[in-house]
Structure formats: structure tokens, C-alpha cells
A = this chain, B = another copy of it.
Amino acid sequence: MNRNVVFTFFLFCFVTICRGSGTDIALDAKATLLHRIDSLNLLIYTCLLTLTVLTIWVFKHRRVSWLHETGLAVIYGLIVGAIIRYAGSTNHITHINVNPEPGTTYNLSVPPDMLRFHFPASLPITPGDSPIANKTYAYSFRGEIVNVEQNEIDLKATFDPEIFFNIILPPIIFHAGYCLKRKYFFRNLGAILTFAMVGTALSALVIGALMYGCVQLMPASLASSFTFLDTLYFGALISPTDPLTVLAIFSQLKVDVNLYAMIFGESVLNDAVALVLSGAIQNYETRYSHDGGFEISGFLGAIGDFIGIFSLSLLVGALMGCLTALISKFTHVRDWPLLESALFVLMSYAAFLIAEVCELTGVVAVLFCGICQAHYTYNNLSSDSRNRTKQLFELLNFLAENFIFTYIGVSMFTFPKHHFDPWFIIAGFITSMLGRAVNIYPLSFLLNLGRKPPIPVNFQHMLFFSGLRGAMSFALAIRNTVSEARQAMLTTTSMIVIATVVLQGGAATHALDYLRIPTGQGSNEESEALPYRDVRSDTPRGGGDAGGGQKARLARVWGALDSRLLKPLLTHARPPLTETLPAFMRPVARLLTTTHQYTQGDNTLRRTDSDSDLCIDDPQIPSSIDPQQLWPGLVDTRISVEGITGSNI
């Protein structure tokens, strides 16, 4: 790439010199150059992703399972990042120090949005170049310069960190929600919520405290730059897990579905928890504490922020999901699958945007929107739209995920704000491992007190082992790199992500062997889908039996509400509202029930209520794709066969 940049630069100079000396032309050429550098950056990533796709095909073809595509993306990223870094000269940014014009008045406490720079005729200019006198240029606000010595903001293959939160993460998170194996998710809800909510907070606290201790033992220059809030923020950002690699191997080897559901469900939710938690810590820092010390009112305020933002974001996402379900139920938009798919995508994206506009967390909204879309809207969609939305988000998720891992690799070398501190990095590795242990073992012990089939010890080890770090940690770390402390955090996070994804991911098969976790069980999707679908009654009450005593009651209440009110209201599922609502609500109920709901038989119910069909664990393996999803034309025969089997049992 760098050669190209250098070449481009010379080309640009050549063009500038040859074709007239007017500033306009030079400006045009400069704009063109910038555009070409942008395109080149994108092209590098596109080529890297293409390379990853091709290599992973070779690996799959040769049945190599010790390297997942994300690991490969990171490795390719590292190689290309190193080449970019060491292959050539750098692209210096020209700058000038300026002062306000004499006599300017300004009365706001924030710096102005724009500077107007009038290029004077009197600047000393080397002879031969034409002056750019008497033109006015606009400059827009970029940020505060903390380190005035740092001369260079690199243009090399880096993007604005906000891109991750606004473009890359939403499809990944939505896909996770849309693809959640909801049956097993709800069956293990107690464990998942405990690990994701309590566990992540606990892990963040433990890591934060331990890191603060470690930092105090280090050289004074480093110790002074970290406050307890900084290390706590580090704890929050390093706590979410991203066990993509492990899950891919699980579904390849057909590992126990409950273990799968626990690991996947926890990783989906702890992303959301960690994001809101880090936001609350940052708010605490900026709002309540002026010296970084502890204040009880500020602490309570931060907890309030956390709960409020999390639950409001959840509400926004869930409401948008339900609204989409209502629209798709009561209109016949499903007759035009393209319109229906477009509506689905637009409404889901609107959930993200609404949450962002209301200063909530868009990612959390989009996660719960995805869950609602899968639970309700999916059942109303035409088969074409089901297929299309699933495949669309699968593809977006694949591209976004591999992009972010490639970027982690490349930015390790090219991002200008890395700060390598060996002690901090070692401490980060050790504490993040300890934090994961504190999350899993004590909470498993507590859960096993109330859980009927307890979590076996080897499952606990596997849960501990699945604590890979990934996209969310990196996105949180790169968001803010103003201080040296934050830069050290970014470097440590990048290294932890790379190490866990490549090494831990590669060792997952051996870990399964070593821990004697049974693989190749009959409990894979295909052979299991039918009996489970038969066992499920209209109310998913059966799902509660795995949790503790209170959990089961909660699940039962939710299940009753879901099957008696929400499902009949939002989908075409039976029994209709006219049967489930009390008599005085009958007129309203009649209004909200479609004729389709009255007239359909039990077979159709089974067909539309197809929770267990939705999830594709490892989309790359064709055998795991439910043929019913791909060839809806075949559904009718299969359904009727099932219906018979079900009634026989």
C-alpha cells in the first residue's frame, strides 16, 4: 500500500507541477488524492477479506479446524499491518499554528465549530512555488490536541472509531439476537442472566480492582496516570466475551446444546451489559466525580444510569420489534416480499437510531429488537422474506465480523496511538483470566444450589475456557484514546483479543477432548428438532424446568403471558385472543384477531410457530441448514407428516 501512496504522492506532485500552477487545480488534485487514499484503504480490507474467504475455504475443504476465519482474519491483518508500517515513508500532515484575528470576540465556553483561515500574502514562501495569497479556507473542528509534540496523524488504513458502533456492530448484534436459539436460551435463562448480568459486573469489578493494585506496584510514571475509574473502565471493556471460534467448533462437533446455549446466550448479553456498564462508568467520571475519588451519591447515580439506560434501550428495541410484528400481521405486505424485507430492515435499523437519538444504547436496542423480530415478526413473514432477511443478516454479520478482526490485526501496527507497556499488558492478561474465573466458578456453585440438572464441573471449565475476547472489547477500547492510560488499555485489549482468538480458539478442540465433554451427541439440531417440537405445547411452560424454583415460576408467568397475550396479538398463532382474554375484552380481542387465525388448523400453528427452525449455528456447513428454510416448497408435506407424528405421541 505504501508504495502506492508514495507513488500517488509523486504522481500528484507531478500533476500539480505540470498542469498549471493554479491553486484550484492543486486543491482538486488534493481532494482526488484523499479520495484515492480512502479507496485504497477500503481496497486493502476488501482484498484481505477476499483472501480470508479463500483461505478459509481451503481450510474447510481440507477439514482443518484449528483455525477459525476470525483467527485467520486477525493473522492476515497483522501481516499486512506490519508491511504497511515498515514498508515505506509516512504521509505527513501539514499544519500551521494559528491565532485569532485581532479584535475577535467570542463568548462561548466551547471552541468554535469552524475556523476561517485567510491565507495572507505576507507569509515567507520558498521561491518557485506559487503563493496562495488572498484566499479563505474553512477548517472544521476535529478535537483537542493533548500532546502538542505528536506531529503526525496517520492516514494509514485507519477509520473513525465511531464507525464500529454505528456501522459494524449493529448488524453483528442484530444477527445474534435474530439467531438466538430461543428454546434453549429460555431453558437456561437463569444461568445465562446470572453469568451475563452479575458475572460481567463482578468480573469488571474484580479486574478493575486487581489492575488498580497492579498499577500501584508499577513505576510511578504509569501509576500516576491511572485512576481507579480508569482501571474499572478497563475491567468493563475486557469483560464481554466473544466465543465465535469455540461455538463454530461446538456446532461442528455437535456438543451438548445446553452448553452451547449458555455460552452463546451469555456472550450475546454480556456485550450489551458491558457496553452500558462502561457508559455508566464514563458518565460517573464526567458527571459526578471531579477528582476521580469515590462518592456514594455518584455511585448510586451511576447504578441508576446503568439500570435506566439498559431497560429503556431494551424497551425501545422490543417495542420496535412488536410494532414490526403488528404491521406484518395486520397488513398484507407479505404479498410483496421485497417490500416486506425492506420494511423489516428499516424498522430494525430505526430501533437503533431511535435509541441513539434518545441518548440510550443503540446496540442494546438492536439486540432486543432482533430477539423480538425472531420471536414474533418472523412467524408473520412470507417464506421468501424469512429466507431473505436471514441470509442478508448472515452475510452482513460474516462480513462485519471478519472486517473487525482484520482491522484489529492491521491497527495493531498502523494505529498511531498505541502505547506498549509490558507490565500493564502482562497484568491485563492475568487479571482478565482471573476475572473470567470469578465470573464462572462461584456463580456456577450458587446456580447449582437451585438448579435441578447442575452444571457439571467440566462444563464449568469449558465456560471458563470460552472466555475469548472480541469485537466489543476492541470497539470500546479504540473509542477513546486521548490519554496515555487509555492508549495502554487499547494496546492491552488488542493483544488479549488476538491471543485469545488465535490461541484459545485454536485449542478449543483439544480442550473438549481434555475435559471429556461428549461430542457427536444425538442432540444435534436435525435429529432433535422433531421430538422437541412435539414436546412443546402451545405454552412453553416446559421450558422452565431447568432453572431454579423462583426462576421456574418467572418463566411460567412469562410463558403464559407470551402464549396467551403476546403471541396471539402479534402473530397468527393460536389460540386466538378471543379465547385467551377475559370476556369483557371480547370486542377488542375480536378486532385484533385475523380471520387467518380463526380458520387455520393445528398444522399451520406448528408451522408458523417455528422457533426452533430459525437458528443456524454454523452457517458455513450446508448440512446444518434446515432444508425447510431453503426449500419452502417442500414444507407442506413435511409439516403434515410431523403433525401426524405429534398426535401419535
- Give the interface of A toward B (CB within 8 A): 4, 16, 19-21, 23-28, 30, 32, 35-36, 39-40, 42-43, 46-47, 49-50, 53-54, 56-57, 60-61, 93-101, 104-120, 123-126, 129-132, 135-145, 148, 153, 162, 286-287, 290, 327, 331-333, 335-339, 341-343, 345-347, 349-350, 353-354, 356-357, 359, 362, 384, 387-388, 391-392, 394-395, 398-399, 619-622, 627, 630-634
Contact = CB atoms under 8 A, between A and B. Distances in A.
Contact of A93 (B61, B113, B619, B632): B113
- A-B residue pairs, 9 tightest by C-beta: A139-B139, A631-B633, A39-B356, A43-B353, A98-B98, A107-B126, A95-B114, A94-B112, A138-B142
Contact of A619 (B286, B332, B338, B350): B338
Contacts of A343: 50, 53-54
Given A50-B350, A60-B336, A132 B111 contact: yes
Contact of A622 (B57, B337, B341): B337
A621 B622 CA distance: 30
A111 B98 CA distance: 13
Identical copies of this chain, number: 2
A400 to B, nearest CB: 11
A130 B106 CA distance: 12
A46 B346 contact: yes
A327 B58 CA distance: 12
Contacts of A384: 391, 622, 630
A604 B627 CA distance: 22
Contacts of A35: 162, 356
A94 B106 CA distance: 9
A124 B148 CA distance: 25
A365 to B, nearest CB: 12
Contact of A357 (B39, B100, B112, B619): B39
A391 B394 contact: no
B342 A46 contact: no
Contacts of A125: 105-107
B46 A110 contact: no
Given A36-B359, A395-B342, A287 B19 contact: yes
A115 B332 CA distance: 57
Contacts of A354: 43
B116 A145 contact: yes
A4 B349 CA distance: 20
Nearest to A37: B357
10 contacts: A20-B287, A27-B144, A43-B350, A46-B350, A46-B353, A53-B342, A54-B343, A97-B101, A99-B101, A107-B126
A151 B25 CA distance: 26
Given A23-B109, A94-B112, A354-B43, A120 B139 contact: no
A125 to B, nearest CB: 6
A97 B104 contact: yes
A457 to B, nearest CB: 36
A610 to B, nearest CB: 18
A99 B124 contact: no
Contact of A139 (B54, B115, B335, B631): B115
A54 B142 contact: no
A474 to B, nearest CB: 20
A23 B40 CA distance: 37
Contacts of A137: 111, 141-145
B47 A350 contact: yes
Given A54-B327, A145-B137, A95 B120 contact: no
A97 to B, nearest CB: 4
Contacts of A153: 114, 138
Nearest to A113: B93
Contact of A113 (B43, B94, B336): B94
A61 to B, nearest CB: 6
Q: Looking at A30, A95, A622, which has the most chain B CB atoms within 10 Å of its CB?
A: A95
Contacts of A346: 46, 49-50, 53, 399
Nearest to A36: B357
A54 B394 CA distance: 25
A50 B342 CA distance: 8
A100 B124 CA distance: 11
Contact of A124 (B105, B131, B350, B627): B105
A393 B115 CA distance: 42
A46 B355 CA distance: 14
Contact of A333 (B54, B97, B162): B54
Contacts of A342: 49, 53, 395, 398-399
A20 B286 CA distance: 9
Contacts of A345: 395, 399
Contacts of A27: 110-111, 144
A343 to B, nearest CB: 5
Given A93-B113, A98-B116, A384-B622, 14 more contacts: A20-B290, A57-B332, A60-B339, A94-B108, A98-B99, A98-B117, A107-B125, A115-B117, A135-B144, A136-B145, A136-B148, A138-B145, A336-B620, A341-B391
Contacts of A394: 338
A622 B335 contact: yes
A149 to B, nearest CB: 11
B332 A56 contact: no
Q: Looking at A39, A387, A399, which has the most chain B CB atoms within 10 Å of its CB?
A: A39
A354 B43 CA distance: 7
Nearest to A633: B631
Contacts of A99: 98-101, 118, 120
A120 B93 contact: no
Q: Looking at A123, A137, A343, which has the most chain B CB atoms within 10 Å of its CB?
A: A137
A601 to B, nearest CB: 23
A119 B115 contact: no
A235 to B, nearest CB: 22
